Amino acid sequence: MARPWGLQKTTTTNKQHNIMFTKAFAVALAALGGGIGIGILGSKAAEATGRNPGAATPILVVSIIFAALIEGIFILSAFAVPF
C-alpha cells in the first residue's frame, strides 16, 4: 500500500541530517562573515578617503582587491562543501 506524500520511508539517517545542517550552517556563517567584512571594508575605505582625498585612487584599488578576496573566501566555502 502506498503511503501518503511526506510519509515515505527515507534512507537518510539522523546523523546525515545533522551533517547536512552543520555544512549549511557553516556556509551561512561564511556568508554572514563575508557581508560584515565587506561592510567594514567599505566603511574604513570611505573614512580613509575622507581623511586623505588625494589617496582616493590607491584606497579604491586596495578596497576592490580586498573585497574580491573576501568574496572568494565565501565562494570557496559555499561551493567547496559537498552536500
Q: Provide the CATH number for the domain around residue 36.
A: 1.20.20.10
Query: Is residue 6 one of the residues assigned to a domain?
Result: no
Spatial contact of 70 and 41, defined as CB atoms under 8 Å apart: yes
| Domain, as residue range, for 23 | 16-79
Query: Is residue 70 one of the residues assigned to a domain?
Result: yes
What is the model's pLDDT at position 19?
79
What does the alpha-carbon distance between residue 50 and residue 29 come to, in Å, rounded to a whole number? 31
Spatial contact of 59 and 48, defined as CB atoms under 8 Å apart: yes
pLDDT along the chain (83 residues), means of 10: 60 75 87 94 96 95 95 87 66
Q: Look up the pTM and report it.
A: 0.73
Query: Is residue 8 one of the residues assigned to a domain?
Result: no
Domains held by the chain: number? 1
